[in-house]
Structure 1
Amino acid sequence: MQTHLEVMKGDITKVKADAIVNAANTSLLGGGGVDGAIHKAGGPQILEACREIRNRQGGCKVGEAVITTAGNLDAKFVIHTVGPVWNGGKSDEETLLANAYRNSLRLAQENGVTTIAFPNISTGIYRFPKDKAAEIAVATVREFLQEPGTLERVTFVCFDEENYQRYADLLKNASS
């Protein structure tokens, strides 16, 4: 079975998928951007689940991922992953970003997810260059999907036109 890769422009909190990915921070307690929007739209159940994870393991490290309920969102799960803050490429940011995607996909498979939606991880306040982030995201997802699994559809949800165009070009230029 071939997994369908797609890109859309929009609000990830409105996407219907088994799991949506949250570009979280290490505290898991919400923040700005995608993180704040997901916590707001999903309601207090997500924050409560994040607090339980914090109490158990002390947050989420950069490149790692954890899974919670999706609360009021049109999804079963929210997978919270922490992307790296861009530091000029001197702190292994590319590997850490790839790990954020890979660990999110692994958690999705372990939980029987068939459809997953990703935001553009680390490209907002964390300042990861959008072109590099898009290339890493698409390459990492494609590599992960070489192994058989449960995923039928992976959607990259872009909030802005610049990222949308970048992902559309990457997906068009190399058929999935």
Structure 2
Amino acid sequence: MQFELIRNDITKMAVDAIVLPANTKLREGSGTSKAIFEKAGRKELEKACNVALKKDDQIYMGGAIPTLAFKLDAKFIIHAIVPKWIDGEHQEYDKLSSAYLSALGLADVMSCESIAFPLLASGHNRFDQNIAFEIAKESIEAYQPTNKLKRVLLVLYSPKAMQIARTQGFLIEEAIDDVYILGIDENYVSPGQRALNDGMELAGKFLDDGINMAMAFLDDQENRKKILEGGIMIAQIAISVVLKK
């Protein structure tokens, strides 16, 4: 599985799944959440979230729920339920790692080949960015896909996040300027969105099948248990690495 870092606007990413940092009510938040709701289509996405809540009444911190991506240049949005920083004594690290693993597991089950994450919980959820980055890195690198997942992108934005990644020796593709230039042109339609527009009925059936597979995966309590246990282990590794620096 290929792990890449890129500086970009996550709402512009042409991938199979985009991860949204979510709350347990799947309501629009601030920052990245607000941007994704706006670009995907707030009315459509809110309706899809309400339907998802009715299907799964056991949404938990560190879990994830899929919906369609609507106007984004992606097939799915995976809503990863991320914790807010309290004091480090309320399983914040474990739940953040679990959110990454849950999103990766759903993407894999839904036959996604690519997924893009923002740096989860590093903004309004107030996680230290060094810890947030280490948990993201350790969680993604630890995941072993069993289906079609081939490419995972961590989408960075802030100068501090960029500095943290570069300090660790990561090469980062910077595409944000070109993406925003294209975004100014209202006539521009990305290839991925054009394909969905041209074959919406067929694409809709395919995407619904993917979400149904994801919900079946979530219904299995054993799957949830394994993800949570994996999150605890990875968070312990990530924190030990940060403390040694």
Question: Does TM, scored on the shorter chain, surpass 0.5?
Answer: yes
In the alignment, which residue of structure 2 is the partner of 1:33?
A: 31
Aligned to 1:8: 6
Give the direction of change, closer, same or farther, for the CA distance of 1:5–1:169 in structure 2 (3 Å limit): farther
Distance in structure 2 (CA, Å) of the matches to 1:171 and 1:70: 33
1:20 corresponds to: 18
User: Residue 171 of structure 1: CA displacement?
Assistant: 6.1
CA-based RMSD: 1.7
Q: How does 1:16-95 map to 2 (within 5 A)?
A: 16-43=14-41, 44-58=43-57, 60-95=59-94
1:156 to 146, 154, 157: 154
- Aligned-partner SS, 2:153: strand
Greater mean deviation of Cα atoms: 161-170 or 113-122? 161-170
Cα offset, 1:149, TM superposition: 3.5
- Contact 1:23–1:34 at 8 Å: present in 2 too? yes
Q: Cα 1:26–1:170, aligned 2, differ >3 Å: closer, same or farther? A: farther
- Number of the residue aligned with 2:219: none
Residue 141 of structure 2 aligns to which amino acid in structure 1?
A: R
What TM-score comes out, normalization by structure 2 length?
0.66
- Figure out how many residues of one structure are paired with residues of the other and give that number: 170
Q: Which amino acid aligns with 1:126?
A: N
Instruction: State the Cα deviation string for residues 102-140 of structure 1 (Å, max 9, x = none).
Output: 000000001001010001111111101110111111101
Say if 2:154 is the partner of 1:144: no
Higher helix share: 2
Q: How far apart are 1:168 and its partner, in Å?
A: 4.1
CA displacement at 1:164 relative to structure 2: 2.3
- Cα offset for 1:148? 4.1
User: After superposition, what is the alpha-carbon deviation per residue over 1:70-119, rounded to whole angstroms, capped at 9, x for unaligned?
Assistant: 01000000000111111121111111011000000000001001010001
Tell me whether 1:106 sits opposite 2:113 in the alignment.
Answer: no
Contact 1:94 1:136 in 2 (8 A): yes
Distance across 2 between alignment mates of 1:99 and 1:35: 19
Q: Give the Cα separation in 2 of the matches to 1:80 and 1:95.
A: 17
Q: Is the 8 A contact 1:18 1:75 kept in 2?
A: yes
- Residues 171 and 153 from structure 1, CA distance in 2 versus in 1: closer, same or farther, beyond 3 angstroms? farther
Q: Flag structure 2 segments of 5+ consecutive residues without an equivalent.
A: 172-245
TM-score, normalised via structure 1 length: 0.90
Instruction: Give 1:18 shift.
Output: 0.3
Counting aligned pairs with the same residue, the percent is: 34
Please list every run of 5 or more consecutive structure 1 residues that lacks an aligned counterpart in the other structure. none
Deviation at 1:58, TM superposition (A): 4.0
